[in-house]
Amino acid sequence: MSQIQSKFNELLARQPLSYILIFLTALLFYIYCLCPTIGFGDTAILIDNIQRSVINTEVNTHPFTVILGKIFLSIPFENLAYRANLLSAFTGALALSIFFRAVQEYHGNVLTSVLSTLVLAVSYSFFWHSTIVENYNISSIITALSILYYVRIAKTNEEKWFYPLFALFGLGIFNHVQMGFLGMGIGIQFLLQIGKVKNKLNFFVKCGIGFVLGLIPWTYLLIKEILSSHNASLVIKNAFMGSFGNIFFSQTLKVAIQEFLVIYWFQFPNLFLIFPIVGLVLLLKNKTTTLQFSGTLIHFLTNTIFFAFYGTWDKFAFLLQSFILVVFYGSFFLQILQSKSRIIALITNILLFSSTLYGMGFYETVHKSGQDPYGTWYGRYNNEYSANLYDQAEYVIVPNKRNYREVEKYCELIFEKLPQGATMLEDDSRTYYPLADYFQKYYDKRKDIHFLLMNSWGIAGWGLSSEQVASEIKKSVEKGEAFFIPTLSTPYGSIIETISRDGTMYFDKFPLSSTQWIYQVKSRNELSQKSQSKEGFWDLQMKHVSSSSKNVFLSRQFMNSFQGNWDGEDQIFLSGENGSYAEWKLAHTKTETAKIQIHLTSAPDFGTLNIYWNQKKILANIDSYALSVGRFTSPVVAVDLRSGDNLLRVELSGKNPESSGFKFGVDSVEIVKK
What distance separates the 2 farthest-apart alpha carbons in the chain? Answer: 106
More confident residue, 533 or 45: 45
| Three-class SS state of 613 | strand
Q: Rounded distance, CA 89 to CA 394, Å?
A: 19
Q: What is the pLDDT of residue 38?
A: 95
More confident residue, 70 or 460: 70
Percent of the chain with pLDDT over 90: 63
pLDDT single digits (tens) 453-487: 887 766 666 777 778 888 888 888 877 789 999 98
586: which strand partners? 646
How confident is the model over 552-557, as a mean pLDDT?
76
Q: What is the pLDDT of residue 528?
A: 43
Residue 634 in this model has a pLDDT that exceeds 90? yes
Residue 6 in this model has a pLDDT that exceeds 80? no
Q: What is the pLDDT of residue 525?
A: 62
How confident is the model over 499-508, as a mean pLDDT?
77
Q: What is the pLDDT of residue 3?
A: 58
Residue 98 in this model has a pLDDT that exceeds 80? yes
- Read off the pLDDT band of 384 (50, 70, 90): confident
How much is the mean pLDDT over the chain? Answer: 89
Phi and psi at residue 296, in whole multiples of 5°?
-70, -35
Q: What is the pLDDT of residue 1?
A: 42
Q: What is the pLDDT of residue 19?
A: 87
- 134 close to 317: Cβ distance less than 8 angstroms: yes
How far from 574 is each of 215, 521, 635, CA to CA, in Å? 62, 27, 21
Which positions ≥6 away from 586 have C-beta within 8 Å? 538, 544, 645, 646, 647, 648, 669
Q: Rounded distance, CA 453 to CA 469, Å?
A: 9
How confident is the model over 380-399, as a mean pLDDT?
87
Amino acid at 40: F
Q: What is the pLDDT of residue 530?
A: 43
pLDDT single digits (tens) 200-216: 999 999 999 999 999 99
- 645 close to 639: Cβ distance less than 8 angstroms: no
Cis amide linkage into residue 16, ω under 30° from 0 = yes
Q: Rounded distance, CA 207 to CA 189, Å?
A: 12
How confident is the model over 374-393, as a mean pLDDT?
85
Amino acid at 304: T
Cis amide linkage into residue 419, ω under 30° from 0 = no
> How many Å is the Cα radius of gyration of the chain?
31
Q: Rounded distance, CA 416 to CA 67, Å?
A: 35
Q: What is the pLDDT of residue 2?
A: 53
How confident is the model over 81-102, as a mean pLDDT?
97
- 524 close to 506: Cβ distance less than 8 angstroms: yes
This prediction has a pTM of: 0.78
Lowest mean pLDDT among 118-122, 138-142, 313-317: 313-317
Helical residues (DSSP H) of 241-319, grouped into ranges: 253-267, 275-285, 287-292, 294-308, 315-318
pLDDT single digits (tens) 286-340: 999 999 999 999 999 999 999 999 888 889 999 999 999 999 999 999 999 998 8
Q: What is the pLDDT of residue 533?
A: 39
Residue 395 in this model has a pLDDT that exceeds 90? yes
How confident is the model over 380-385, as a mean pLDDT?
81
Residue 32 in this model has a pLDDT that exceeds 90? yes
Q: What is the pLDDT of residue 499?
A: 78
How confident is the model over 340-363, as a mean pLDDT?
93
Domain regions of the chain by residue span: 2-360, 405-531, 534-671
Q: What is the pLDDT of residue 258?
A: 93
Q: What is the pLDDT of residue 524?
A: 65
Q: What is the pLDDT of residue 543?
A: 72
- How do 450-454 and 423-427 pair as beta strands? parallel
Helical residues (DSSP H) of 506-616, grouped into ranges: 524-533
Pick the CATH number of 534-671 from 2.40.30.260, 2.60.120.260, 3.40.50.720, 3.90.1150.200: 2.60.120.260
pLDDT single digits (tens) 478-503: 777 899 999 887 777 777 777 777 66
Residue 9 in this model has a pLDDT that exceeds 70? no
Half-sphere exposure of 601 (CA within 13 A, CB side): 30
